[in-house]
Chain A
């Protein structure tokens, strides 16, 4: 039997359990935010075109569990 067409059409990429981040980034439980040495890791607004989830497409709806 041939491979299912959804598998044939799937894009393959190296698996990464977590996104690439600055070495000093850490999550502050009390604030509920990521911090880096200079302040907040995510601050203000996105500028310029970006894609979903830091270019790691895992589907929406938190499916990449």
Chain B
């Protein structure tokens, strides 16, 4: 079989199951490869002819440029190597080389990519996101990145938002550590507790309500995230599940246009954008190039269907990520 769509995913990326169901329903052929299972297949790529064969006991695919419409790339673009314990030689080799093999599928450069790893790599950089968001017309919070506590305290006199520059997901024995966005006094930032690693310090936006905007091509799914029916100070992810509601909202035309423009400038057909609504207007917080969306999918909010339809677009729409 010659699949029309390649999905590069993770084994426990359950939202992918929803898109796979939609692809089946609309008759688009696909192959899903999970990074944890790549060695279960016999894979062979001819990069010159752009032909990939995928074989196992249960599948037999030949991927060719002629038939391939799209690649859905849901993979990390760089390894963070925080396993807490030493990886065996075999594990180190497997991680680095399979990661490179997945990137090698960029030889299918006539297919539409959601998202291209090159675009994801750059868009993962939070300072770069802020700069582009400002260009797109968003208001953005005052921000400093670095390890200079003196400058942090000088710029921000009162409460500040403290965030990591990149996701902090660390292992310590049988535990893992994760950092959320935290509100703190700028006085708490000292040379002693900041110099070892850079961080993000931002203006605190009071009385905020979080907005999540999921962009799929030209489609927009916007929700307001409420805790007990109201906005929440700080990181909503620390709230209990039962207290959360996601309410569909219509963005004002300027914000909607800025979201589409941001995704376009970052070359991201898919983007999960975090905004906050405040008494002083809507502010851009960050964009997640491979963000999660399964938690928002409902019968009225069919993000799965929008992704499947984008991946199944006619060949004539290739290389036009927002068509």
Contacts and interface: CB of A to CB of B under 8 A. Distances in A.
Say whether A and B bind each other. Answer: yes
Interface of A: 1-15, 18-19, 27-34, 40-47, 49-55, 57-65
Given A13-B175, A13-B178, 14 more contacts: A4-B196, A5-B189, A5-B193, A11-B178, A11-B179, A11-B180, A12-B172, A18-B12, A29-B32, A29-B59, A46-B297, A52-B237, A62-B76, A65-B79
Given A10-B178, A63-B80, A51 B237 contact: yes
B288 A61 contact: yes
A31 B16 CA distance: 12
Contact of A27 (B34, B79, B180): B34
Interface stretch (B45-53, B106-114, B241-249, B311-319): B241-249
A32 B244 CA distance: 31
Nearest to B181: A9
Contacts of B35: 65
Given A19-B12, A49-B245, A62-B75, A29 B37 contact: yes
B176 interface: yes
Contacts of A29: 32, 37, 40, 56, 58-59
B20 A8 contact: no
B237 A4 contact: no
The residue in A4, A43, A54, A65 that gathers the most chain B C-beta atoms within 10 A of its C-beta is A65
B290 A65 contact: no
A45 B297 contact: yes
Contact of B13 (A31, A46, A49, A62): A62
